[in-house]
Amino acid sequence: MAASGTIDQRRADGTLRHLITLEGLGADEIEALLARAQHYARGLDQSAARSEPLRGVTIANLFTEPSTRTRVSFELAGRRLGADVVNIELQLSSRAKGESMLDTIYTLEALHFVVFVIREAEPGVLAQVAAHVGPKVSVLSAGEAHLSHPTQGLLDALTVRQHKGSIAAQTIAIVGDIRHSRVARSAYQAFHALGARALRLVGPAALLPAPHEFAGCERFETLEEGLEGADVVMILRIQKERFAANEIPDAQQYFARYGLTAARLSRAHPDAIVMHPQPMNRGIEIASDVADGPQSVIRQQVSNGVAVRMAVLEAVAGAAAA
| SS percent in the chain: helix, strand, coil, step 5 | 45, 15, 40
- C-alpha closest to that of 20 among 316, 239, 301, 276: 316
Task: Quote the strand ranges of the chain, DSSP E.
Answer: 58-63, 84-88, 115-120, 138-144, 171-175, 198-202, 218-220, 232-235, 273-275
Binding ligand NCD (rule: CB under 6 A), the pick from 88, 105, 173, 183 is 183
Is 219 an interacting residue with respect to ligand NCD (CB under 6 A)? no
Verify binding: residue 182, ligand NCD, rule CB under 6 A: yes
Nearest approach, Cβ of residue 81 and ligand NCD (Å): 20
Q: Based on CB atoms, which residue is closest to ligand NCD, 137 or 302?
A: 302
**Which conformational region is residue 9 in: left (phi greater than 0), alpha (psi within -120 to 50 degrees), or beta?**
alpha
For residue 277, the minimal CB distance to ligand NCD (Å) is 4
H/E element holding 33?
Answer: helix 27-43
Total residues contacting ligand NCD by CB under 6 A comes to: 11
Regarding 71 and contact with ligand NCD (CB under 6 A), the answer is no
Q: Is 143 in the site for ligand NCD (CB under 6 A)?
A: yes
- Choosing from 18, 80, 237, 264, the residue that interacts with ligand NCD (CB under 6 A) is 237
Q: How far apart are CA 309 and CA 73, in angstroms?
A: 7
203 interacts with ligand NCD by CB under 6 A? no
Q: Does 152 bind ligand NCD (CB under 6 A)?
A: yes
Asked if 33 and 154 touch (Cβ cutoff 8 Å), the reply is: yes
Radius of gyration, CA atoms only, the chain:
19
Complex with ligand NCD: residue 69 or 267, whichever CB lies closer: 69
Q: Crossing angle of helices 27-43/298-321, nearest 10°?
A: 110
Residues 268-307 that bind ligand NCD (CB under 6 A): 277-279
Query: Which residues, at least 6 apart from 47, have a Cβ–Cβ distance to it below 8 Å?
Result: none
d(C-alpha 113, C-alpha 137), whole Å: 8
Report yes or no: 170 and 142 within 8 Å, Cβ to Cβ.
no
Among 17, 80, 149, 179, binds ligand NCD (CB under 6 A): 149
Per-residue contact string for residues 22-61; x = within reach of ligand NCD by CB under 6 A: ----------------------------------------
Smallest distance from the beta carbon of 142 to ligand NCD, in angstroms?
Answer: 7
Instruction: Report the distance separating Cα 321 and Cα 20, nearest Å.
Output: 21
Rounded Cα distance, 76 and 99, in Å:
28
Nearest approach, Cβ of residue 24 and ligand NCD (Å) = 20
Cβ 109 to ligand NCD shortest distance, Å: 26
> In the bound complex, what is the minimum distance in angstroms from residue 276's beta carbon to ligand NCD?
9
Q: Which is nearer to ligand NCD, 74 or 220 (CB)?
A: 74
How far apart are CB 65 and ligand NCD at their closest, in Å? 7
Q: Least distance to ligand NCD from the beta carbon of 74, Å?
A: 10
Binding site for ligand NCD (CB under 6 A): 69-70, 143, 149, 152, 182-183, 237, 277-279
